[in-house]
């Protein structure tokens, strides 16, 4: 099986929850252990065998392009700029126009997750799905909402509320050709609610649990925790 070597990184967030902590750069460029967080993320993608990355930018897009440039550790870097709010689904669809292949890895530009992109892709192939979601095990799902798993498939999403340990959506996806082709044509929409949830209901989303080290730097407490973790080497 030829592995997918392209990724879309959603890097257009405003970083509202980090206001007062990081004000002068977009959230993906928030400094973590002396480097922009996005630098750590791109390092990991390059090490995972990705050769081309589309940065889906919006807020302070020019600062990201100035800092990251056109190449990163052998990866080609291209940009898809959101000129108006499109929601996660609209942003992915817009960035998909820059793809060279017919499948892609998609990940949030403000979360860290240790996983192998090839394994996430294999999870979709082995389950017969054209879309897979990386899940993270956390001690308390209340802040995120829980993901229900049935065998190797995602069975449902539970809204934020009940506390306790469980699996959450870590914001890393593999979209095969079928999933890309089915992205809604309308301009602005949520990938999670308008696209992902209906596919879960039809049993077409693979669950991938071979992950570790989840960090959401968009939360001030996690952002502070990331400093010491990354200083020691992620």
Residue 220 confidence (pLDDT):
84
Residue 48 CB burial class (10 angstroms; 0-12, 13-18, ≥19): middle
Residue 6 confidence (pLDDT):
98
Polymer length of the chain: 234
Kindly report the number of other CB atoms within 10 A of residue 16's CB atom: 8
Q: Which strands make up the sheet holding 131-138, listed edge to edge? A: 71-72, 75-81, 52-57, 6-10, 104-108, 166-175, 131-138, 206-208, 153-158, 146-150
Secondary structure (DSSP) of 49-105: T--EEEEEE-TTHHHHHHHH-SEETTEEEEEEE-SS--HHHHHHHHHHTT-SSS-EE
Q: Are strands 52-57 and 75-81 parallel, antiparallel or unpaired?
A: parallel
Residue 148 confidence (pLDDT):
94
Contact 54, 98 (CB under 8 A): yes
Query: Looking at domain 6-118+171-205+215-231, which of 3.40.50.2300, 3.90.550.10, 3.40.720.10, 3.30.1360.70 is its CATH number?
Result: 3.90.550.10
Q: What is the DSSP letter of 139?
A: S
Place of tokens 């820059």: 98
Residue 75 confidence (pLDDT):
98
Contact 136, 214 (CB under 8 A): yes
Q: How far apart are CA 181 and CA 101, in angstroms?
A: 12
Residue 63 confidence (pLDDT):
94
Residue 165 confidence (pLDDT):
94
Tokens of 104: 């892609």
In whole angstroms, how large is the CA radius of gyration of the chain?
17
The overall longest dimension of the chain from CA atoms, in Å, is 47
Q: How far apart are CA 87 and CA 192, in angstroms?
A: 10
* pTM given for the model: 0.95
Residue 187 confidence (pLDDT):
82
pLDDT under 70: residue ranges of the chain? 1, 14-23, 161, 234
């Amino acid at each position: 099986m030829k592995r997918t070597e392209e990724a879309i990184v959603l890097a257009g967030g405003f970083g509202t929850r980090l206001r007062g902590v990081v004000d002068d750069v977009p959230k993906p460029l928030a400094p973590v252990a002396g480097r922009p967080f996005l630098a750590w993320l791109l390092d990991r993608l390059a090490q995972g065998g990705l050769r081309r990355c589309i940065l889906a930018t919006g807020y302070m897009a020019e600062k990201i392009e100035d800092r990251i440039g056109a190449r990163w550790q052998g990866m080609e870097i291209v940009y898809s700029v959101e000129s108006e709010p499109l929601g996660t689904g609209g942003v992915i669809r817009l960035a998909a126009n820059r793809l060279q292949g017919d499948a892609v890895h998609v990940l949030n530009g403000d979360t860290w997750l240790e996983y192998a992109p090839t394994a996430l892709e294999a999870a979709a192939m082995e389950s017969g799905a054209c879309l897979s979601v990386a899940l993270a095990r956390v001690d308390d799902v209340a802040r995120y909402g829980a993901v229900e798993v049935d065998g190797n498939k995602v069975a449902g999403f539970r809204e934020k509320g009940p506390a306790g340990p469980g699996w959450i959506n870590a914001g890393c996806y593999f979209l095969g050709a079928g999933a890309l082709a089915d992205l809604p044509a309308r301009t602005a929409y949520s990938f999670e609610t308008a696209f992902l949830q209906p596919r879960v209901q039809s049993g077409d989303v693979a669950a991938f649990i071979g992950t570790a080290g989840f960090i959401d730097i968009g939360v001030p407490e996690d952002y502070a925790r990331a400093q010491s973790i990354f200083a020691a080497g992620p």
